[in-house]
Structure 1
């Protein structure tokens, strides 16, 4: 198993379940890219440990009983890179809706720490769970 594959598995295990331990995985200069997050009003790019920890804390507070499952972590030819496909679900207390999602996550490691994450998810699923507006799609409360 490559260092990146191991870190990606730990990222999925500890992000929510043991956030203090997860924080030890990330480098001071970590970058977390979320290309589809702006459609939900969230940042597309988080730079630095403080910004990443703050975003993770927001997520942990916004989604209860969140869990990843059915993870498939794939190493690349370069031991510093790995990719995962993983399903997840949790409850959005503010709406009472279940949040179901499928993620694809790319990870880069350096010196045994996570230096870069690039996370793809379906923003429509997130918006429906959050009851957030999506152009052209009515929210659950108006259907």
Structure 2
């Protein structure tokens, strides 16, 4: 297992279940890209620890009983990169709707910590669970 693979597994195991520990895994200048999040009015890119921790804090308050499962991690050719395919589910607190999602997450490590995350998810599933409209936006390249 590579450092990036280990970090990706730790990221998914601690993001919700042990957020204080998760915060020790990220660099201060972390970049978290969410190319499809703009479709539900969320930021498509978070830069720096403050922005990432604020967004994660919102998520932790918005969702209950959230868990990842069926995790598959594929190390990259570069030991500082890895990709995960994972499913997740939880309850959106404001709507009471079940949120089921499938994610693809790319991770790049730097000095043994998470420097870059790029997360793909289905914004339609998120919109239905959140009770929010799909905005007429396409991801920026």
Q: Mark yes or no: TM-score above 0.5.
A: yes
Secondary structure of the corresponding residue to residue 17 of structure 1: coil
CA distance in 2, matches of 1:56, 1:135: 22
CA distance in 2, matches of 1:29, 1:82: 19
- Largest Rg, 1 or 2: 1
Aligned position for 2:119? 119
CA distance in 2, matches of 1:2, 1:135: 38
* 4+ runs deviating over 3 angstroms: none
Deviation at 1:93, TM superposition (A): 1.5
Q: Give the RMSD, CA atoms, in angstroms.
A: 1.1
User: How many correspondences in the alignment?
Assistant: 136
Residue 12 (str. 1) matches residue 43 (str. 2): no
Secondary structure of the corresponding residue to residue 16 of structure 1: coil
State TM-score, norm by structure 1.
Answer: 0.93
1:16-59 superposed Cα distances (whole Å, 9 cap, x missing partner):
00000000000011000000001111100000011101111100
Aligned position for 1:72? 72
Q: 1:61 to 1:15 in 2, by over 3 A?
A: same
State TM-score, norm by structure 2.
Answer: 0.94
Aligned position for 1:53? 53
Higher RCO, 1 vs 2 (CA within 8 Å, ≥6 residues apart): 2
Structure 2 stretches lacking a partner, 5+ long: 137-141
Deviation at 1:134, TM superposition (A): 2.5
Matched-pair contact (CA < 8 Å) for 2:40–2:135: no
CA distance in 2, matches of 1:135, 1:42: 10
Aligned counterparts, 1:1-143, within 5 A: 1-134=1-134
CA distance in 1, matches of 2:66, 2:6: 21
Secondary structure of the corresponding residue to residue 38 of structure 1: helix
